[in-house]
Amino acid sequence: MKEIDARGLACPAPVLHTKAALQEEKPGSISVMVDNAASQQNVQRFLESQGFATSLEQTGADYRVIGTLGAEPVDHSPEPAAPEAGSSKIMVLCATDRMGFGDDELGLKLMLSFLRTLKEMGPDLWRLVFVNNGVKLTIDSSEVLDDLKSYENGGIKILVCGTCLNHFNLLERKQVGETTNMLDIVTAMQLADKVISL
C-alpha cells in the first residue's frame, strides 16, 4: 500500500500529491493522511474519480483516507453537460460577500441583489464558485441560501473552497454546493468560456 502523509499541507497539495503518486506508481491501494475535513473530502472525491473504493478512519484531528483500486469511477469533475445550442459556459467567481468598496452595508445589498439576478443569464450560467470571504454566502445564515439552493437544484454546479471554509471555521455550516479545492476551481476556469470575478 502506498502511504502519503499530507498533514500540514495547504490545498490543493494533498490532492496533487495523491495524483502524482497514482501517475508515477499506479498503486492498487493507497493511504493518505490529512489533518482537516476539507482535505479529507477532496482526497476522497479525487480517489473515487480515479476508480478507487474509499474508506475513512479518523483519529483526533487527523483523517486517513484509504483507497483500493477496482471501483467504478465516480464523476466528480467540473466537466459540464452538453450546453444548449447557442449558449456559452459562464463561471462566476465570488471572492467576497460584498460587491465593491466603500460602504459594507451597501456592498452586501449589492451582492445579494447580484446573486438573485444571475438567473437572468439563463442557460449561460454554468458554475458558481465561492472562495475567501465569499464562502460565507453558502452557510446556514446566508440571506441568499435559498437562491443558491434553487440554482443548484436547477443544474448549476456550485463549488465552495474547502480551505476557505476551514479558515473561517465554517465547514460544518456550509449548506449548499460541493466542498472543493483549487485544482477543481482552476479546471473549471479552463473549461469556462467566460469567468466573471467579483
Any idea which fold 90-197 has?
Answer: Hypothetical Protein Ychn; Chain: A, (3.40.1260)
What is the overall mean pLDDT for the chain? Answer: 88
d(CA 44, CA 25): 18
Percent of the chain with pLDDT over 70: 91
pLDDT at 82: 45
For the record, the C-alpha cell of 180 comes out as 472543493
As a whole number of Å, the end-to-end CA separation of the chain is: 43
pLDDT in tens, 172-192: 999 999 998 888 888 899 999
Q: Are 42 and 12 in contact (CB under 8 A)?
A: yes
In this structure, the number of other CB atoms found within 10 A of the CB of residue 6 comes to 21
pLDDT in tens, 31-86: 999 998 888 888 888 898 888 999 999 988 899 999 998 866 665 544 444 445 45
Superfamily of domain 2-69: TusA-like domain (3.30.110.40)
Domain borders along the chain are: 2-69, 90-197
pTM of the model: 0.70
